[in-house]
């Protein structure tokens, strides 16, 4: 349901509840009782659930993640005009949905991945408003990036399974799949966001804005 | 039902909680900041929940209507 439709529903519910508040006598009739049940029980709960669902969906958007000031350089890194930057090449070539870029890579593709991501978001909020937020370049992942998140899309893909580097050593591909050799380990796909280490020569892609 | 009836008062209190919660929710929906979700759940959700619970409470403990056939009959013996 679009946000404006939920806002209209919420305001409509509030107006109806206002009628019951101003004229409680209307609840004496059977129709009035049904109205009271609708506007003081059903509609508020429905509006609340719809609103929460909308907010949960919005929290998955790239714009939502980048609305925190501290995340600005990470948003900027998506526009770096250099294919060796992993996040930028995924974003610019739509290997991940452009409007859910952060969420797609930073959510565990496990049973409670979404739930854990939301809890992590609450932790970020706590640190942002009540704690001492680190500098953007000092932000670290809570735990090492799991290859499972990459393999969710790349497993079975020809470029991954038959890639020259992946097959140069017969032990490499099984090690990647078993998460014993990280995709973003040194010498492989280790340039991800690299915030704070761009230098002066970095160029930015102007498209996709 | 007169405005001074206990039931009317309970409906009003419940309605005021619900309306306040709904306005908080509407504000959060148009406020595109990450904290909006927390405000929506903690303040808006709490107010709406309180209003709904108070409404249910008022129904459960409402005085029976004089013409209600199911109200407790006086003891004849």
Tens-digit pLDDT profile for residues A166-202 = 999 999 999 999 999 999 987 899 999 999 888 888 8
Asked if residue A81 is part of any domain, the answer here is yes
Q: Are residues A32 and A93 in the same domain?
A: no
End-to-end CA distance of chain B: 33
In a domain, A7, yes or no: yes
Shortest Cα distance, chain B CAs vs residue A135, angstroms: 19
Inside any domain, residue A128: yes
In a domain, A73, yes or no: yes
B1, B34, B52 ranked by CB distance to A27: nearest: B1
CB A183 within 8 A of CB A148: no
Q: What's the mean per-residue pLDDT of chain A?
A: 91
Residues A52 and A68 occupy one common structural domain? no
Last residue of a domain, one of A42, A58, A74: A58
Q: What are the distances in angstroms from CA B63 to CA A7, A33, A38, B67, B71?
A: 36, 15, 21, 12, 10
CA distance to A9, A129, A166, per residue, from B25 (Å): 11, 21, 51
* CB neighbourhood size of B46 (10 A): 13
Q: Give the number of domains in chain A.
A: 2
Q: Which residue from B5, B15, B25 is facing A21, i.e. has the nearest CB?
A: B15
- A23 falls within a domain: yes
State which residue of chain B sits closest to A36, comparing Cα positions: B11
Contacts of A121 in chain B (CB under 8 A): 34
Those of residues 45-74 in B touching chain A at CB distance below 8 A are 45, 48-49, 51-52, 55-56
**Residue B13: closest CA among chain A residues belongs to which residue?**
A21
Is the domain of A68 the same as that of A53?
no
Q: Are residues A126 and A141 in the same domain?
A: yes
Q: Which of B10, B9, B4, B2 is nearest to B55 (CA)?
A: B10
| pLDDT value at A5 more than 70 | yes
Is residue A129 exposed (0-12), middle (13-18) or buried (19+ Cβ within 10 Å)? exposed
pLDDT of residue B70: 59
Q: For residue A133, what are the domain limits?
A: 63-145
- Are A45 and A70 found together in one domain? no
Same domain assignment for residues A32 and A99? no
Same domain for A71 and A131?
A: yes
pLDDT tens, position by position, A64-109: 999 888 999 999 999 999 999 999 999 999 999 999 999 999 988 7
CB contact under 8 A, A125 and B34: yes
pLDDT in tens, B41-61: 999 999 999 999 999 998 888
Residue the block writes with tokens 């303040």: B43
Q: Give yes or no: residues A103 and A29 share one domain.
A: no
What pLDDT does A193 receive?
94
For residue A127, give every residue at least 6 positions away whose Cβ sits within 8 Å of its Cβ, in sequence order, or none: A133
Query: Which residue among A145, A163, A187 closes a domain?
Result: A145
A47 contacts on B by Cβ (under 8 Å): 22, 25, 48
Instruction: Spell out the long-range contacts of A83-86 with Cβ–Cβ below 8 A and sequence spacing 24 or more.
Output: A84/A191, A85/A191, A85/A192, A85/A193, A85/A194, A86/A184, A86/A189, A86/A191, A86/A192
């Amino acid at each position: 349901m679009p946000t404006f439709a939920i806002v209209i529903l919420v305001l409509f519910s509030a107006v109806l509840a206002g009628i019951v508040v101003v004229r409680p006598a209307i609840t004496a009739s059977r129709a009035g009782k049904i109205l009271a049940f609708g506007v003081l029980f059903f509609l508020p709960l429905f509006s609340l659930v719809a609103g929460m669902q909308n907010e949960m969906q919005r929290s998955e958007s790239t714009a939502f993640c980048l609305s925190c000031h501290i995340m600005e350089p990470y948003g900027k890194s998506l526009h770096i005009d250099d294919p060796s930057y992993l996040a930028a090449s995924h974003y610019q070539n739509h290997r991940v949905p452009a409007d859910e870029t952060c969420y797609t890579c930073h959510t565990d593709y496990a049973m409670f991945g979404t739930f854990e991501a939301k809890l992590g978001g609450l932790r970020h909020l706590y640190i942002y408003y009540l704690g001492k937020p680190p500098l953007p370049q000092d932000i670290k992942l809570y735990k090492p990036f799991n290859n499972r998140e990459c393999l969710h899309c790349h497993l079975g893909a020809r470029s991954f399974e038959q890639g020259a580097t992946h097959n140069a050593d017969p032990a490499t591909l099984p090690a990647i799949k078993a998460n014993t050799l990280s995709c973003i380990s040194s010498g492989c796909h280790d340039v991800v966001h690299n915030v704070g280490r761009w230098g002066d020569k970095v160029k930015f892609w102007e498209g996709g804005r | 039902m007169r405005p001074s009836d206990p039931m009317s008062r309970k409906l009003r209190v419940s309605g005021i909680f619900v309306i306040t919660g709904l306005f908080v929710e509407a504000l959060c929906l148009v406020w595109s900041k990450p904290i909006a979700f927390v405000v929506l759940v903690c303040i808006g959700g709490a107010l709406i929940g309180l209003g709904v619970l108070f409404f249910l409470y008022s129904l459960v403990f409402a005085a029976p209507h004089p013409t209600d056939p199911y109200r407790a009959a006086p003891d004849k013996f």
